[in-house]
Structure 1
Amino acid sequence: MSSATFVDDALTGAAGITDVDSYVDSWHESDSDLDLHEYLGLTWDEYRLWVEKPNTLRFILSARRHGRTVSEELKSTASELALAARAGSSDEAESVLTWLRKTGRL
């Protein structure tokens, strides 16, 4: 694992989504003065979203990659998948969008 954040490493391909737990473990073992969300490279809102709904991490990373907000990324993903007629795949994005609306985040 490099000294870059999880988000940095994930965006460059040096880490995968499932590696986030290793970064959390490293934070626990470190003497870092950073809060966990900073150590991971997440904004506070991204961190809160991930903690409450872990399957959003891939949308958070995709949003970062595309220079969008997570909400914009989810809407785009749901639209693109629906257009591609992959209803099963768009269900996850739609589920997260519904949850964001329900919790007042969207």
Structure 2
Amino acid sequence: MTDEIDDFIDRWHEQPVGLALHDYLGMSREEFGLWLDQPDMLPLIIASRKLNKSLNLIANDNLQEMRLAARTDDSGKVKRLQAWLQRRAAL
């Protein structure tokens, strides 16, 4: 994906079409800002578009998942917590 974006950016520089780079890439300013700051977050931007969910929601969900993964190596704990949350939702 990174190579493809680099190719688009090269084309934007070579043949300016009067669009801001974020518009040329098809990104909102919010998406573009995230991508500039953290290029490895491109999959979140794509997921946001594919799932038709806000980038903030996707990013928060991803952050929560990363925090869980960083705090425990015990997949059993994660499964138990997930089961507990599911039971709570059923009440």
Structure 2 length as normaliser, TM-score? 0.64
Q: Which has the higher contact order (CA 8 A, sep 6+)?
A: 1
Q: What displacement does 1:79 show?
A: 5.0
- Bigger radius of gyration among the two: 2
Q: Is the 8 A contact 1:49 1:56 kept in 2?
A: yes
Structure 1 length as normaliser, TM-score? 0.56
Aligned residues: 70
Alignment counterpart, residue 18 of structure 2, candidates 33, 38, 43: 33
Alignment of 1:56 onto 2:56: no
Runs of 5+ consecutive residues of structure 1 not aligned to the other structure: 1-15, 89-106
**Greater percentage in helix:** 2
Alignment counterpart, residue 58 of structure 2, candidates 73, 78, 87: 73
Runs of 5+ consecutive residues of structure 2 not aligned to the other structure: 71-91
Q: What displacement does 1:75 show?
A: 2.6
Percent of aligned pairs with the same residue? 30
